[in-house]
Amino acid sequence: MSQIKIPSENGNLLLTKSTKLVGIKKHVEGAELDAVESNVMPNLGGFEVVTLNPAEDVDEALDQVRAREDVAIGTHVYFAEGDNRPVIATGIIYCEMAEGVGKEERQVVLDAFALEILEDREDGTIVCKVTERSPNPLKVAAALTKLSMVQKAYPDLDVPLDQYFMEPRDGLLPNAWHLENTGRVSDVPNFPLKPGADAKVRAAWRRMGNLGSSNVVVAVIDNGFDLNHPDLRGKVVAPLNIASGGNDIPAGSGHGDHATPCASVAVASANGSGLVGAAPMARLMPLHGLTYSKFLTERMFTHCIRNGADVISCSWGTIDPRYRPGSEHERAIRQALTSGRNGKGCVVVFASGNEGREYINYYAAIPGVIGVGASTSSDTHASYSNRGQGLSVVAPSDGGWPIIAARASWDQGNPGMPVNKRYYVDGVDRGPFYKHFGGTSSATPLVAGVCALILSANPDLTSAQVKSILESTADKIGNAWDYDSRGYSTKYGFGRVNADRAVAEALRLRSIGTTQPTQPTAPTPPVVTVPTQPTRPPVNTTPTTPTAPTTPTAPATAPSTPPVSGTNLYRFSVQGIGTAGFGLQVSVNNEFALVLREVEELERKYRLPVIVHISTLNGRTAFRIMMGPFATQAEANTAKSKMVSMGAAEPWLRALSGV
């Protein structure tokens, strides 16, 4: 996924290039283009927003359209972080030069990017527009801001303002009944669903006014990631091959295909095509490999802690008492629950299991873990979903109508079914990238995505508080007698997850400056019955207490202010120099004290000489700070390369004869 960070008046703006939408300006308005698949928006920044041939890469398709004689301009469309409204750069750039930069110097900058001046305003703002020889206006603005000669450069953007928040336009979103259930699926006319039997995810998006935060990372531990899938591409951070300890994620039928749909349910991108996950802005940390090994279990959860996972989704486990998690397994998981997220704890979500038993996956029953069961499109209990103490909530999955999810490119589908039903239960082809999916394997990443939305709304919550909010805001479904006096059910946990209510509670707590829920849900201790001849695996009533991390001893008296570095005393000598050779202009300043500090810092950091040119502009003294002098342009360029390699903004090369 192509991203670009551009300057704006409200700080840097992260834009992601759409994989489907482009902007077109035609020579003849209203003319039809056979290359256009669909018209999305008639006018945005002077462009028509359209989709092109879906079988082609968007860059290649756009290049082909640009080459047509009937097309004046073609441009990419972007999405801003946390928003699904299309963004287009109009080609206009608002620029302001640094103080002391003359018109000749300014023109050199503009000529370098082939910019044309539209207005030269009295306040110093230059309104420019790109020409046919200019690069992409977003790239021009980003490059201009790196020049010390430029004070600011903002690209002019257009975005629809008819509504504050636009929901995703992805084509399969109407099939995602688990996000919002209207009582039917658009292409399934003869299978009624129960309106409202959903996770209320789209309502949560509307409440937040966005699709969550890209600062939130969801780790999915599973086998078979197709990271080139259109809805997962470009989202990956810190991948791990659990077996090797490396970052190589194997692909192909020999490595499974389960991880791809699981990941998509949680975090599939809102990119204008395909489907959308519960938290489409969240990033994906893929961990390939399922294992009972204590050592590898420790490796996987330690990796999540060290690499910033916020939520960990696990659609796997065991009900076999021979392979129940031991103390090392539990310690690794509890370490994530308490030490992840800089001490706030990772939110850990496990599936209850699909065996239809009266006890749940041992991993899901570990205290602090969110154990997830499945409900159906009719808001009933899915018969395959395990029941029992330790279950936190249920979430929509199959058992009525299945949900739709991503499929790996090597996924062979169900070989026991006719060819047309290997991926879709009704035989209706919804494209080569997707399939019907379900089980607690699907319900679990859905809850993980909801937890990512909760943390997007309030990143200060601990893992225990996220669990409490999730349970206390769940909807009671089924019969009243399914629940005890605490509102708990071994069939539904605390109920069917409600993302909208959970997000509302997270936002409420954030607004009042506390992260403590009003009525936190206490963890449910397991109720144990061990018959003489057990019909289910026995449950450990004395879970191993993890070893508490050693708390470093705090100093007796903490300093009230951080130590101050630097000095207010300077030793310098002043020597006039000739105006021959070259300098590298770094900045222009008006305050002598700041000039002294900057000169000291530049000399210390780059080990290069520094010169200052003093002039008067509009009655004010201006100090132009430059590295140099350098006898030749080659020497100056060598120094410039050194500075840039050390992280400096690119200085401006200038002949000293012109100062």
| Residue 436 annotated among the catalytic residues of the structure | no
Rg (CA), the chain: 30
- Residue pair 310/319 in contact (Cβ under 8 Å)? The answer is no
DSSP 214: T
The H or E element that residue 6 is part of is strand 3-6
- Residue pair 75/275 in contact (Cβ under 8 Å)? The answer is no
**Residue 11 and residue 292: Cα distance in Å, rounded?**
46
Smallest CA-to-CA distance from 168 within 280, 264, 68 is with 280
- Residue pair 290/256 in contact (Cβ under 8 Å)? The answer is no
- Residue pair 405/370 in contact (Cβ under 8 Å)? The answer is no
Of 178, 258, 288, 381, the catalytic one is 258
- Residue pair 286/236 in contact (Cβ under 8 Å)? The answer is yes
Residue 45 in tokens: 């920044």
Residues 6+ apart with CB under 8 A from 494: 392, 393, 471, 472, 474, 487, 488, 521
Question: What does the DSSP assignment read for 518-561?
Answer: SSPPPP-PPP----SS-SS----SSPPPPPPPPPPPPPSS--SS
Reduce the secondary structure of 86-138 to three states and give it as a string.
EEEEEEEEEEEECCCCCHHHHHHHHHHCCEEEEEECCCCEEEEEECCCCCCHH
Of 148, 170, 198, 222, the catalytic one is 222
| Residue 57 annotated among the catalytic residues of the structure | no
Question: Omega into 54 within 30° of 0, i.e. cis?
Answer: no
**Residue 139 and residue 150: Cα distance in Å, rounded?**
15
Site of tokens 């082939």: 114
The H or E element that residue 220 is part of is strand 217-222
Smallest CA-to-CA distance from 250 within 222, 219, 213 is with 222
| Residue 27 annotated among the catalytic residues of the structure | no
Of 441, 456, 489, 587, the catalytic one is 441
Residues 6+ apart with CB under 8 A from 337: 345, 346, 348, 368, 369, 463, 464
**Residue 25 and residue 33: Cα distance in Å, rounded?**
11
Residue 127 in tokens: 């309104």
- Residue pair 373/394 in contact (Cβ under 8 Å)? The answer is yes
Residues noted as catalytic: 222, 258, 441
